[in-house]
């Protein structure tokens, strides 16, 4: 199981082998299709982040949200990499919230690479 979960934004650059000490391999999930509700589309939520309750409530309205999160959690849990990357478009909303939930459920620390960018 990973020792760290990192949320990131694809538009800020995809993590590449060598970004961490994984020894040349990466495990990455793209949540853009799984969590199809994008808070960025709502002007009131655009400047908020996946750490904000309003954004979290919006993401939770994604169809099959709980099932999707369970599948994502299972995928992270089965990973053998030291670092697991969760990405969305900008790294501000969906990947942040997914990383928080999965990290909390599995007791894994979380880092948000692009939350302030």
- Spatial CA neighbour of 26 closest among 48, 10, 2: 2
* Residue 108 in this model has a pLDDT that exceeds 80: yes
pLDDT category at 19 given cuts 50, 70, 90 is low
Rounded CA separation 75/88 (Å): 16
Whole-model pTM above 0.75?
A: yes
CB distance 88 to 9 below 8 Å: yes
- By the 8 A CB rule, do 114 and 12 touch? yes
Q: What is the dihedral of CA 58, 59, 61, 66, to 10 degrees?
A: -150
What's the DSSP call for residue 87?
E
Distance (Å) of CA 40 to CA 26, 45, 87, 93, 94: 27, 6, 14, 8, 9
pLDDT for the residue 26 = 86
Tens-place pLDDT, residues 61-100:
999 999 999 999 999 999 999 999 999 999 999 999 999 9
Q: What is the pLDDT of residues 51-66, one digit of tens each?
A: 999 999 999 999 999 9
pLDDT band at residue 42 under the 50/70/90 scheme: very high
């Amino acid at each position: 199981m990973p020792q760290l979960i990192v949320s990131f934004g694809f538009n800020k650059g995809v993590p590449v082998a060598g970004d961490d000490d994984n020894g040349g391999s990466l495990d990455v999930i793209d949540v853009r299709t799984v969590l199809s509700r994008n808070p960025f589309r709502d002007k009131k939520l655009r400047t908020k982040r996946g750490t904000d309750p309003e954004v979290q409530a919006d993401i939770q309205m994604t169809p099959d949200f709980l099932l999707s999160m369970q599948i994502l959690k299972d995928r992270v849990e089965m990973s053998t990499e030291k670092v697991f990357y969760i990405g969305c478009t900008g790294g501000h909303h969906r990947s942040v919230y997914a990383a928080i939930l999965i990290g909390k459920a599995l007791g894994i620390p979380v880092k948000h690479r692009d939350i302030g960018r």
